[in-house]
Structure 1
Amino acid sequence: MFVAVRNGIFVAFSVGNSWPDEGSLVNIALWITTADAGSIDRKFPMRFTLGNVAAIDAAVKDGVHILSLSLGGGPEEFDVDVVAIATFAAVRNGIFVAFSAGNSWPDEGSLVNIAPWITTVGTGSIDRKFPARFTLGNGEVYVGQSLYQQSPNFTGFSPLVYVPQCLMSDTEITQLVKEKILVCENAFVELGMKVAKSRGVSLIRLNGNYSGEGVIVKAFTFPGLTLGYFEAQKLIKYINSTSNPRASLQFDYQTVIRETRAPTVACFSSRGPNFIQPEILKPDILAPGMNILASWPTETPLTRSLKDLRRAGLNIISNTLMSYPHIAGVATLLKAEHPNWSPTMIRSAMMTTTFPLDSSYRPIFLDENLKPANALAIGACHVDRERAKNPRLVYDLGVQDYINFLYIMNYTETQIKRFMPEPSSCLKFGGGVGDLNYPSFMAIFDAETKERTLTRTLTKVSELLEMNSLPS
């Protein structure tokens, strides 16, 4: 079996621990696309280029089974969305396609890659932490997170200086931070380098309200840590309450697991609804993508800053670039075990066997406000690799079903030819787009509508006798 991935160095980790027989073979094809500067849309720089579309066409011709892509634009109507058009060709050829939902933070309707033939993946957290703690002058202890691995050249307490939003010039940095701990919101690694150059003691990076408790750990080149929003507000209150705010930092240099609730919905993971077709729930599913240990190109600095001299083959990364490869990995394992399954059967197997609760058996919550997440953030909930092996029943879809879907969206023959060049016909399903045989349900109600009936067809994939009853 062949898996074609862009930015594929990350995906290999996700496919690694497999449960298919030893005789099952998975080949991963890594590819990089390029485009000349003139072909890049400056307004939407991540939008597909002709080179990317050509790469998908090449993957189809090469006979791949799984496509894992980090590109996307929109949201746009499907017939002018080159992502949707290019991936439709892949799905027509039996290829499973996994895409990121986007990194646009928790704004309503911010997600991308929303065509129903694409598996759209949101980002969840894991239960791994990298604790770093500090003690305030009043004795209170706070725990943040850091990837700093060296021994700091300071001991004892140091003065704290708070600069809202890190708004200061290089000259002000030099004047403010010498032998002090700088505290500010959403500081970048480059600021830490400037603080170190100015002989600052440390940097405490505070999450803003958009980030909430979603701590994205940073590979600081000097002593630095990140603190969640709620404790950050307490720290600011302490600094403003005394004429001599001070703190003592301690770096634990260890990884702690299974001591925090997980998964949560990452603060940066884009959210629904699907503005192009609201009756198709997106994202489809949640997968790990926050503070993920992943392969890393050894020629690239750990912080991507040219001033960072560190190089390694592994890094900790937070991004939806990390979440959809997990889904591609599970899809690869399912395809190896069930080679006759269609892309939609594979997606259905994952979406109908998710785990709806976190590690404490409570509802999955949002990083930004600690409130329970709804379907527009988590889709069908968090993927469960083991349960996906045996879904027993699946919701299957064929190319004709998608063509019917486009007809019901009132697409013309000319528009549909962009997806299916050869002649096609429409076999309408009665209830509109909501009756697409999708493994989730989404109904739109207005003031006059009191009831909706949606229809689905299930396909049995288990050899066991099934006896199921639906709630009345």
Structure 2
Amino acid sequence: MDEVVSVFRSRMLQLHTTRSWDFMGLSYGSGGSTPIQYKYGDDITVGVFDTGIWPESESFKEEPGTKPIPDSWHGQCVEGQEFDPKTACNRKLIGARYYLKGFEQEYGLIDQTEYRSPRDGLGHGTHTSSTAVGSTSRNASFFGLGTGIARGGAPRARLAMYKICWFKDLQGRCSESDIMAAFDEALSDGVNVISASIGAPPPLVPFFASATEIGSFHAQEIGVVVVFSAGNDGPDESLVQNVAPWSICVAAGTIDRRFPTEIKIQNTSFLGQGFIVEALKSQLIASILIFSDGSCSVDKWNGEDARGKIILCFSTVGPVSSGGAAIAGYFANATGIIFVETTVKQSAQDDFLPTVHIGLPQGTQILYQLQSPPKILRVQISPSKTIIGRSPAPSVASFSSRGPNSMSPNILKPDITAPGVNILAAWTPKTSPTLLPIDSRSVNWNFDSGTSMSCPHISGIVALLKSAHPDWSPAMIKSAIMTTAYMRDTSTDSILAGGTLKSVDPFDIGAGHVNPLKAMDPGLVYDIDTQEYIFYLCSLGYTKKQLQRIIKPFPGINMNCTGKHSDLDLNYPAIVLSDLQSTVTIKRTLKNVGRDGAAYFANVVSPHGVHALIWPRYIVFSCRKRMISYYVTVTPLKQSQGRYDFGEIVWFDGYHYVRTPLVVRVNNV
């Protein structure tokens, strides 16, 4: 039993469900400005924890000049149903394993549509892998939409698939015991990065009872960066998942690509968003009810015949899916759906039955036309177009899970935002784009949205950073990504939060939207070692026995929580004071990863209701790798209503902007 670190009740986790790289400035091979230092992720192996892989996809072919598999790699491709390692794996896909013992103990034998092998029967794992490290593929599109060159963020990085999630109830389910087994083997195999678009919704369990938090802690102990999705439960607050400070938690944002779809009724035109491949002409009928599930089911059409018609469907309670309406419309033999929502739709959605999303003002105008003579209208829906360069972009997706952190309020989560809306990537051709049994279509590329899609964007960027800076720790890489992020969109206004249409704050976007080119050269970083994380765990009141369930002991590691520890002492690249009652002084330490002799000035923007003072305000680093500490004293100025307010600390040397969010809630002054 020496290899057993801890035993806990296994839970079921869920999957969090290409223009994006160009949008972020990574224009490989197309005359762009991507620095050659990135090396495209060369010699880095990304382990993806997901639903498996479709190895025949163009995304997983060897790029010209791919080097032999390094001797440091100890993994393997495991044989299984319709998965022959001799033909499935190559110098790109160098590892493939599958885990189902925990899943089958919970649910019984896997679904007959699944593969008892690393092969992907769901599409999700193929999509996320392609996004992170996919090879260059020309003429990728979804039925002609989004046509262009598809590639991952680190196209020369290698891929290892760890299939931990299986098809159940039209979604992927992932057993924690299978996740722990995957972590153990991935770390033994020699991966450099782990990308896991999975999570369990709140209430969150303690870190010592979570496979993802334990596994990711083991990873950072040996220098492996773990990237998780934030979850898709937005825009309500405090529902963010994967909140441990030693991993990267990723929110989802939009890019500057849209799929405008024209709706013409009588002589009036409306513009919506959709994936309409062929023009539709039909009569229009309305389902005029207020409902929360978006089902627009047949019994709500007042007995009207939907055969051959387009349905006007209202959904006025929050951001909901149009999928239920499309299924109901299909069984009623409708031609299509015009889906009306109160929130501004940020994305198109493939609903099998042609569906166009429009806003409530447009829907109300159409409804007015329906209630005026003639009451039966002719409607024409044109094929969708692909438009890039639309401004403003990005915005935070309405579905993206928000902070504050419900487990550890003084740790900012999410950490960062990356593209996660309408991402085009490789798919499983034996699975339909919608996963519905009634959908017989087959595609090699599919659009998908979710923090599942934003997570592999950061994983690809981490691979680039590890390739360029092999001596950086996981905390340094995370710091580089966070401190160089931006908060303004392409129109130079504050980025908006979808679902609320307010300017974002760090609980929506984390430190900001990722800027991979800036992250390459951050100037300064915040570093954290394993011992500091242990003292952070001590501050949560964990016992030594509970610590032993999380930590793999190494020589020199102290697991005794003697003395006083505070979670505010963790050298995190964000400062959160969730319960400020009197003046507090916070210490942070910066490491110079820029030039010798770098000199920085500090500027502080105090959150409303407090005064923040930084000392020293001027620091000089005599050489690279030198570390200098600074102190921030935060004083409440007046009684607060218990709300959070937001500011920032920025260190500037004339070129680098090293930005740290400052988040404060004043209570009981």
TM-score by length of 1: 0.87
Q: Which one of 575, 579, 603 corresponds to residue 441 of structure 1?
A: 575
* Conserved 8 A contact 2:286-2:312: yes
3-state DSSP class of the match of 1:177?
coil
Q: Is 2:176 the counterpart of 1:52?
A: no
The corresponding residue for 2:357 is 226
Q: Which one of 7, 11, 15 corresponds to residue 133 of structure 2?
A: 15
* Conserved 8 A contact 2:536-2:570: yes
Alignment of 1:317-396 (within 5 A): 317-396=448-527
3-state DSSP class of the match of 2:518?
helix
Q: Which amino acid is the alignment partner of residue 388 of structure 1?
A: A
Q: Which one of 566, 573, 578 corresponds to residue 432 of structure 1?
A: 566
- CA 1:311–1:32: 2 relative to 1, 3 Å: same
- CA 1:176–1:296: 2 relative to 1, 3 Å: same
- Following superposition, the deviation at residue 47 of structure 1 comes to 6.2
Q: Is 2:102 the counterpart of 1:102?
A: no
- Following superposition, the deviation at residue 244 of structure 1 comes to 2.2
The corresponding residue for 1:126 is 255
The corresponding residue for 1:79 is 208
Q: Which amino acid is the alignment partner of residue 499 of structure 2?
A: E
- CA 1:36–1:316: 2 relative to 1, 3 Å: closer
Q: Which one of 164, 167, 178 corresponds to residue 33 of structure 1?
A: 164
* Conserved 8 A contact 1:25-1:336: no
Alpha-carbon distance in structure 2 between the residues aligned to 1:228 and 1:171: 21
Larger CA deviation: 284-293 vs 1-10:
1-10
Alpha-carbon distance in structure 1 between the residues aligned to 2:476 and 2:563: 20
The corresponding residue for 2:73 is none
Alpha-carbon distance in structure 1 between the residues aligned to 2:265 and 2:419: 34
- Following superposition, the deviation at residue 237 of structure 1 comes to 5.4
Alpha-carbon distance in structure 2 between the residues aligned to 1:256 and 1:281: 35
Q: Is 2:584 the counterpart of 1:452?
A: yes
Q: Which one of 244, 247, 257 corresponds to residue 375 of structure 2?
A: 244
Q: Which one of 171, 175, 194 corresponds to residue 304 of structure 2?
A: 175
Give CA-to-partner distance per residue, 1:164-197, whole Å, 9 cap, x none.
3444337958733234321113564464355356
- Following superposition, the deviation at residue 46 of structure 1 comes to 5.0
Structure scoring higher RCO (CA < 8 A, sep ≥ 6) equals 1
Alpha-carbon distance in structure 2 between the residues aligned to 1:413 and 1:193: 53
Count of residues in Structure 1 that have an aligned counterpart in Structure 2: 454
* Conserved 8 A contact 2:416-2:514: yes
- Following superposition, the deviation at residue 15 of structure 1 comes to 3.1
Identify, as 1 or 2, the structure richer in helix. 1
Unaligned segments of structure 1, at least 5 residues: 19-23
Q: Is 2:534 the counterpart of 1:403?
A: yes
- Following superposition, the deviation at residue 249 of structure 1 comes to 2.7
Q: Which amino acid is the alignment partner of residue 360 of structure 1?
A: S
Q: Which amino acid is the alignment partner of residue 161 of structure 1?
A: A
Unaligned segments of structure 2, at least 5 residues: 1-43, 51-124, 137-154, 604-612, 614-669
Alpha-carbon distance in structure 2 between the residues aligned to 1:380 and 1:171: 45
Alignment of 1:180-219 (within 5 A): 180-184=309-313, 185=315, 186=320, 188-189=322-323, 191-192=325-326, 194-196=328-330, 198-207=332-341, 209=342, 212-219=343-350
Give CA-to-partner distance per residue, 1:38-65, whole Å, 9 cap, x none.
xxxx9x9956421111011100101111
The corresponding residue for 1:468 is 600
The corresponding residue for 1:65 is 192
- CA 1:241–1:268: 2 relative to 1, 3 Å: farther
Alpha-carbon distance in structure 2 between the residues aligned to 1:64 and 1:306: 36
- CA 1:231–1:402: 2 relative to 1, 3 Å: farther
Larger CA deviation: 197-206 vs 424-433:
424-433
Identity of paired residues, percent?
31
Give CA-to-partner distance per residue, 1:13-38, whole Å, 9 cap, x none.
333589xxxxx96211112126899x
Alignment of 1:141-180 (within 5 A): 141-152=269-280, 154=281, 158-164=283-289, 165=291, 166-169=295-298, 175-180=304-309
Q: Which amino acid is the alignment partner of residue 48 of structure 2?
A: V
Alpha-carbon distance in structure 1 between the residues aligned to 2:432 and 2:417: 29
Q: Is 2:442 the counterpart of 1:311?
A: yes
Give CA-to-partner distance per residue, 1:300-340, whole Å, 9 cap, x none.
10111122121111001011110000000000000011111
* Conserved 8 A contact 2:235-2:500: no
- Following superposition, the deviation at residue 464 of structure 1 comes to 5.1
Q: Which amino acid is the alignment partner of residue 288 of structure 1?
A: P
Larger CA deviation: 410-419 vs 389-398:
410-419
3-state DSSP class of the match of 1:453?
strand
Q: Which amino acid is the alignment partner of residue 14 of structure 1?
A: A
Alpha-carbon distance in structure 2 between the residues aligned to 1:457 and 1:429: 21
- Following superposition, the deviation at residue 428 of structure 1 comes to 8.0
Alpha-carbon distance in structure 2 between the residues aligned to 1:107 and 1:253: 31
The corresponding residue for 2:403 is 272
3-state DSSP class of the match of 2:501?
coil
Alpha-carbon distance in structure 1 between the residues aligned to 2:226 and 2:497: 26
Q: Which amino acid is the alignment partner of residue 129 of structure 1?
A: R
Q: Which amino acid is the alignment partner of residue 87 of structure 1?
A: S
- Following superposition, the deviation at residue 11 of structure 1 comes to 2.7
Alignment of 1:295-310 (within 5 A): 295-310=426-441
- Following superposition, the deviation at residue 403 of structure 1 comes to 0.3
* Conserved 8 A contact 1:215-1:226: no
Q: Is 2:39 the counterpart of 1:3?
A: no
Q: Which amino acid is the alignment partner of residue 80 of structure 1?
A: A
Alpha-carbon distance in structure 2 between the residues aligned to 1:441 and 1:310: 49
The corresponding residue for 1:21 is none
Alpha-carbon distance in structure 2 between the residues aligned to 1:204 and 1:310: 22
* Conserved 8 A contact 2:544-2:559: no
- Following superposition, the deviation at residue 414 of structure 1 comes to 1.0
Q: Which amino acid is the alignment partner of residue 311 of structure 2?
A: L
Identify, as 1 or 2, the structure richer in strand. 2
- Following superposition, the deviation at residue 444 of structure 1 comes to 2.4
RMSD: 3.0
Alpha-carbon distance in structure 2 between the residues aligned to 1:34 and 1:442: 34
* Conserved 8 A contact 1:286-1:379: yes
- CA 1:398–1:364: 2 relative to 1, 3 Å: same
Alpha-carbon distance in structure 2 between the residues aligned to 1:281 and 1:98: 15
Alpha-carbon distance in structure 2 between the residues aligned to 1:196 and 1:52: 38
Alpha-carbon distance in structure 2 between the residues aligned to 1:130 and 1:25: 30
Alpha-carbon distance in structure 1 between the residues aligned to 2:519 and 2:258: 27
* Conserved 8 A contact 1:285-1:379: yes
* Conserved 8 A contact 1:178-1:199: yes
Q: Which one of 114, 136, 146 corresponds to residue 243 of structure 2?
A: 114
Alpha-carbon distance in structure 2 between the residues aligned to 1:35 and 1:148: 30
Alpha-carbon distance in structure 1 between the residues aligned to 2:166 and 2:448: 26
Alpha-carbon distance in structure 2 between the residues aligned to 1:250 and 1:76: 48
- Following superposition, the deviation at residue 93 of structure 1 comes to 1.5
